[in-house]
Amino acid sequence: MKLYNAFISSFNDQFATGKSATKGSPLKQVKELMSAKIPMGQPTKNEVSYGLGWARIQLPGAMGQIGINPDLLSEGMPIVGKEVSSQLLIFHQGSLPGALSIVILLPESQSAIFVTTNSLALNDVPDWIGQLFLEALLEVPSAARNDYIKAAEKTRAENLKWYPNLIQELKQAQENGTSPRNFEDYAGTYWDKFGIFKIFVTVQEGKLYWKLQGLESENFELSHYQNDSFTWLATRNELSRRGRWVGGDQGPDFWKVEFKTASEGKISHLSWSHDNGVLANVYIKS
């Protein structure tokens, strides 16, 4: 909390003095970091913008724009801070494999709320908890407060649709009745064109696996999909337990691995789309 107290005091001081530094604070250019750079979610009545790593909301307003809850709530995020005096709120959210977090700063009252988790939940729990504490801190009247339990239940239910929907998409595009080659034909080390990222493909007890960067922690079984294509999709719980990011932003192509042949018919490379919206990377067998 010392860090966020320093952010608040530096923010208030640097906007008051017009300077880029605050005496006794190691934080420089805070007014630049926390000033509006681009609008978000327009049109809006009050300010909703993004600075350099920090979001700005003039209450009352909706939050969560840099977390995962908005994609899980079709009716839109709830309006925070109804029926209380308007003030500026600055926040940041963290969405990482195995951890979620939010920090909310209120420069006017010099208050801060910080919530973090050590697991990847079925919704952005810190976001909901942070907003709940925020409305309590702002003393929003009971009748005007949002029902965060209901919001959590809705977003949880929506997130649970991801895995079965993904399985269905994969099945619909699958060509039935095909068989793989001998697994040993696929085994080997595959490199990207820069010679930086490598994938080990191995056969273990009659099953095919790939290891991203050759790491045991990134060893996943490859299940035959069609022809020379495989999937490395595990259950959501297994992926989450192993620290993988899971969610609707990973489509079917992310979970498919396609082995390809050279002119002589032998497996020479594989292709994999490591992210949505990008062409599949080619990894050459060495």
Same domain, 199 and 124: no
Counting Cβ atoms within 10 Å, is residue 160 exposed (0-12), middle (13-18) or buried (19+)? middle
Residue 194 has a pLDDT of 95
- 221 and 234 in a single domain? The answer is yes
Q: How far is CA 278 from CA 62, 150, 271, in A?
A: 31, 36, 12
pLDDT score at 278: 86
**What are the start-end ranges of the H helices in the chain?**
2-17, 30-33, 125-137, 148-159, 162-172, 236-241
Model confidence, pTM: 0.88
Residues 82, 141: Cα–Cα separation, whole Å: 8
Write down the pLDDT at residue 243. 83
186 with 139, same domain?
no
Among the candidates 109, 132, 160, a domain finishes at: 160
Alpha-carbon distances of 233 from 25, 96, 170, 192, 216, rounded to whole Å? 48, 19, 10, 22, 17
Q: Has residue 94 been placed in a domain?
A: yes
pLDDT (tens digit, 0 to 9) for every residue of the chain, 286 residues total? 899 999 999 999 999 999 999 999 999 999 999 999 999 989 999 999 999 999 999 999 999 999 999 999 999 999 999 999 999 999 999 988 888 999 999 999 999 999 999 888 899 999 999 999 999 999 999 999 999 999 999 999 999 999 999 999 999 999 999 999 999 999 999 999 999 999 999 999 999 999 999 999 999 999 999 999 999 999 988 998 888 888 877 889 999 999 999 888 899 999 999 988 888 999 999 9
Whether residue 170 sits in one domain with residue 156: no
**In this structure, are 114 and 144 located in the same domain?**
yes
Same structural domain for residues 77 and 110? yes
- Residue at 141: amino acid letter: P
* Domain C-terminal end among 160, 189, 218: 160
Instruction: Residue 209: give the domain boundaries.
Output: 165-285
210 and 258 part of one domain: yes
Give the per-residue pLDDT at 119: 84
pLDDT at 264: 84
Give a yes or no: residue 245 inside a domain: yes
pLDDT at 128: 98
pLDDT score at 277: 80
Give the count of domains, the chain. 2
> What does R_g of the chain's alpha carbons equal in angstroms?
24
In a domain, 133, yes or no: yes
* 60 and 87 share one domain: yes
Residue 101 and residue 94 in contact, taking contact as beta carbons nearer than 8 Å = yes
CATH code at position 209: 2.40.128.50
Q: Pick the last residue of a domain from 160, 180, 213.
A: 160
Residues comprising the chain, all counted: 286
